[in-house]
Amino acid sequence: MLQTLLLRFMKGYISAQEIADWANLVECSEDLEYEAAYAEQIDTIVQALANSEINNPIDKDLCTEFLTWLENKCLKANVDEIAIKSEILRLCILVKSEQIDLINACRTIVFLGNQLQSSNLELLLPFKGVASECDAYPTSTSNHLFSRDYVEKSTIEMKVYVGEVRASVLEACDIVINEYSRSQH
């Protein structure tokens, strides 16, 4: 919406006063929420536009600056999203080739998936299920915090559990590999 408004001004479809009026209305609305990834930038721009008599006057240079700022934020978010999806894809390939521990991979995929801004997160539900079921089990880096007996018992239980869920996780990996490979081309 904000980008559209700025572009409409740049093309001469609306006036600087109309932008300032819109920004004042938005600034006074307490029930509006901005997209989380861009909330800070949008709030800053709305405040600047609403207070243009105090700040910089609304002109094409200011709108160009704001558009560039928003586009750079979008580009960084897209790059981050691609990097996260690439790592999830790599983990799924490693799980399929049995080069990585299935439970630790699921835990890492869930951690990475929670950082995605816009994605089909339903793809990651099988991994969340496995990670959730294994919350009580120590991780490879926390084994030293538990008694040897508990670690041995947990290791046996995890091996049994992995045997039960391996097929489902491999199927989920196939789906993620297919989906994320397509989206990166």
125 pLDDT band, cuts 50/70/90, is very high
The residue ranges of every structural domain in the chain are 2-58, 81-183
Return the structure tokens found at 6: 């700025």
Q: Which residue has the higher pLDDT, 125 or 41?
A: 125
Contact present, 119 and 172 (Cβ < 8 Å): no
Q: Which of 38-52, 67-81, 159-173 has the lowest mean pLDDT?
A: 67-81
Is residue 29's pLDDT more than 80? Answer: no
pTM summary value: 0.61
Mean pLDDT across the chain, nearest whole number? 86
Contact present, 83 and 51 (Cβ < 8 Å): no
Q: What is the mean pLDDT of residues 138-146?
A: 87
